[in-house]
Amino acid sequence: MKGFVLSNLRCLKHLMVLALLAPGLSVQAAKPDPACVAGGLIENSVVDCAGIEIGLDCPGDNESQPAVLTLKNATVKNLVISASGGADGIHCTEGDCVIENVVWLDICEDAATLKHKGKSLTIIGGAAYNYPEGPGGKPDKVFQHNSKNSTIHVKGGFELHGTHGKLWRSCGNCTNNGGPRHLILEDVVVDADLYAISGLNRNYGDTVDIKNLKVKSYREGLPIICEEYKGIVKNSDAESAAYGETWDSEHCKVKKSDIVPF
């Protein structure tokens, strides 16, 4: 029975992928750009992957895995990350990066990370899935934000499905940790089971700004929308303590009217 359920989940996900990619496929190149290869580097360019599926592997949810793709001041669009090959997702390691119309069939460690020299990471459309039965293990964050003085912007109808920890987390215990880090969510759909939408570090001046966030079966506190923490430096004796959910504050710039249950 378990195998039957997993097989049907995979079929369902692939059907949803086709639906999500269909608008982009009608205008994209007939063939994928040669740069669309697992483990590849895309630098100072816009690359259209024409809806192909790529991946590395997924030995578990550890942080030491390589990136499926590395972006340096670049854009990748119309791509599927395989269910068993998500590794550490897509890394933006430098400049301004865009991930457009990309679908993660099953997140391994993270879907995407804004690394230390990244200025901004914009996710437009697409979708991300994570299932406890998948190769990535326990649910974790979807978008990891490490770079200081930078912004992650998720918009354009991006969809979240499955089971997750958080949609976004400003690194709670990075080496030489600090901030500020900023999250902007606009027109995002959450049809998922997760603990929180966002987690920021109050002491580093982080902010979260949310508009038109649709959350299935939402009721206050389930999930937490914006939770404030105390960020710490990695290997210190302190803990990244949670202060709890806040609304319409200096750091959590979100009103209850910005959350739309469905």
Map out the domains of the chain as residue ranges: 2-261
Residue 244 confidence (pLDDT): 96
Matching CATH number, 2-261, of 3.60.15.10, 2.160.20.10, 3.40.50.300, 3.90.580.10: 2.160.20.10
Whether residue 18 has pLDDT greater than 80: no
pTM assigned to the model? 0.91
- Rg over alpha carbons for the chain, rounded to the nearest Å, is 17
pLDDT in tens, 172-187: 999 999 999 999 999 9
pLDDT in tens, 106-115: 999 999 999 9
